[in-house]
Structure 1
Amino acid sequence: MDHLDVLESKSIYIIREAFNRIDKLAMLWSIGKDSNVMLWCARKAFFGHIPFPLLNIDTEKKFAEVYEFRDRITKEWNLDVRIGGCPPVEEMDQSLPPAARSAARKTAGLKRLIAEGSYTGLIAGIRRDEEGTRAKERVFSPRSETNTWNFRDQPPEFWDQFNTEFAPGTHVRVHPLLHWTEMDIWLYTRRENIPLVPLYFAKDGKRYRSLGDQDITFPVDSNADTIDAIIEELKYSKVAERAGRAMDHEAEDSFERLRADGYL
């Protein structure tokens, strides 16, 4: 087994373990590159058919290419996608900076969709190397009944021994891609020929490394218009993956506040 085989095997094991241990399970599908790798692994885990719904939070501010990709792949792969809306930004915590306040809408929409489906577990495609607060996560991460996260009190996970026994009323977030890097995602996407939103590829000297809402996500300078070119670019790039996310340039604790409240 090579490096990518090991990554894939571990992720598939985590997804299957979550399905075996959690009664009401769903998977968050953001349509981004990480989320698509996670979805690909889930399809492999269950031989092409995913036995739980996918949750997609619609802020109504996504790129047109994202909506087109979501609708096309949903039909082609016969996915059970549950789409949830978001409350207006005026209802969010006004002490948050503008971009973080806009992003908080997704958390509120996700909480509402989880409550409507009575889901006790949610699989999500975050990675530890993507952002500092995410580095504190566990693979099986307990949340309160309101989906809040106590990042100072997380169960130990030594030698991939995951705690899957939680008290009644605990909501569990499952992160099968925590051990992946951005480079791993691109190498695996190339090997498996996983479909992607075209915005990741350079056009007129710009491309998106991370996809969010149109009004708070911006492209970075790049001429990488193929996966091979992106992989080569990442070998030498000093630009942070989330450099195009406006909220990452706001108050230092805003992202941590969002994550504690349930943001992914």
Structure 2
Amino acid sequence: MTDHLDRLEAQSVYILREAYASFRSLCMLWSIGKDSTVMLWLARKAFYGHVPFPLVHIDTSYKIPEMIQYRDRLTAEWRLNMIVGQNREALAAKQTFPDGAIDRINCCRLLKTEALKNTLSGAWPRQRFNHDLGAYEPDPNPEPFTGVIAGVRADEEGSRSKERYFSPRTVRSQWNVGDQPPEFWNQFNTDFPPGTHVRIHPLLDWTELNVWEYIERERIPTVSLYYDQGEGQRYRSLGCGPCTLPVASDAQTVSEIIVELRSGRYANVAERSGRAQDKDDGGGLETLRREGYM
């Protein structure tokens, strides 16, 4: 009998294959967190060990060091086509929250939203991992990505619950929440007018618990920050260091995290409760996400 994880896996694999068949210029966002890493694992399953499109990571330069180390290790081990984008101008001018120049929301707007939009469009320089050299170098191909796979889950926070599996944006990645196509009986619209930028969400119906159950079943490698290292705390959601706080926890394994989520201290606690920028955006991320944020 097919269990719930098998059904979720099959649906996600189907969405990934539909996306690959429908969009000529396709990429996948990889935030290095557990959700997008599960999505990467699913892509490798969908295409028999090979990921046939580039991965894109937006590096704010404030990610926790273990995250970047993990990104580059898997990039090399799995032979990933890895692209990194940044808002170099804002970083050089120190127009950031950690530098005391702007608030958290505007820092996210510059370092994440603007960096993402201009990286996807090819308007700003991109760095691509050269597997022969084991290092990043300028990407000579400025072609824009029109289909963008993202690890959004509907249960993660309020604005994400309004998403669709195939969600159209404007050419500048702006999201009209009230103008989303209906999706019934596994019928998805993948035919959009020229210039439409489409976000694809293979994990939309997964929950945080599903993600960890799948990580356990598949033995997917994840960042060490998710586990208590003996200090009585761990990260539940990963982001920039200055705006992401660990939670109290003694969970040192995937199984112990699953217990916490099923019946323990985090069974009914929002996953992103430790993300300060969510609180600054009125308790959610809709303002940023309408503008193109992940």
Which category describes the TM-score, using the shorter chain as reference length?
over 0.9
Question: Displacement of 1:45 after TM fit?
Answer: 0.6
Aligned to 1:29: 30
Question: What SS class does the counterpart of residue 217 from structure 2 fall into?
Answer: helix
Structure 1 equivalent of residue 262 of structure 2: 235
Q: Aligned with 1:259: secondary structure? A: helix
Q: Does 1:205 align with 2:232?
A: yes
Quickly say closer, same or farther: Cα 1:83–1:159, change in 2 above 3 A.
same
Distance apart, 1:144 and its partner CA: 0.4
Specify every segment of 5 or more residues in structure 1 that has no aligned partner in the other structure, as ranges: none
1:55, 1:103 → 2: CA distance? 17
- Of residues 222, 231, 236, the one that matches 2:249 is 222
* TM, length-normalised to structure 2: 0.86
- The aligned counterpart of 1:188 is 214
In the alignment, is residue 112 of structure 1 matched against residue 140 of structure 2? no
Distance of 1:78 and 1:23 partners within structure 2: 21
Q: Given the alignment of the two structures, is residue 259 of structure 1 paired with residue 289 of structure 2, yes or no? A: yes
Is 2:124 the partner of 1:98? no
Shift of 1:254: 6.6
Distance in 2 of aligned mates of 1:56 and 1:259: 17
- Partner Cα separation in structure 2 for residue 99 and residue 214 of structure 1: 12
Count of aligned residue pairs for this structure pair: 260
TM-score normalised by L of structure 1:
0.95
> Equivalent residue of 1:159, what SS?
coil
Deviation at 1:249, TM superposition (A): 1.5
Matches within 5 A, 1:51-130: 51-86=52-87, 87-88=89-90, 90=95, 98-104=103-109, 105-116=111-122, 117-130=143-156
CA contact (8 A) 1:100 1:255 kept: no
**Alpha-carbon contact 1:62-1:214 (below 8 Å) kept:** yes
Aligned to 1:152: 178
* In structure 2, C-alpha distance between the alignment counterparts of 1:42 and 1:150, rounded to whole Å: 28
Amino acid at match of 1:222: S
Q: Do the aligned partners of 1:38 and 1:176 also contact (CA within 8 Å) in 2?
A: yes
| RMSD (Å) for aligned C-alpha atoms | 1.5
The whole-number CA distance in structure 1 between the counterparts of 2:174 and 2:21 is: 24
Unaligned runs of 5+ in 2: 123-142
The structure with the greater share of residues assigned to helix is 1
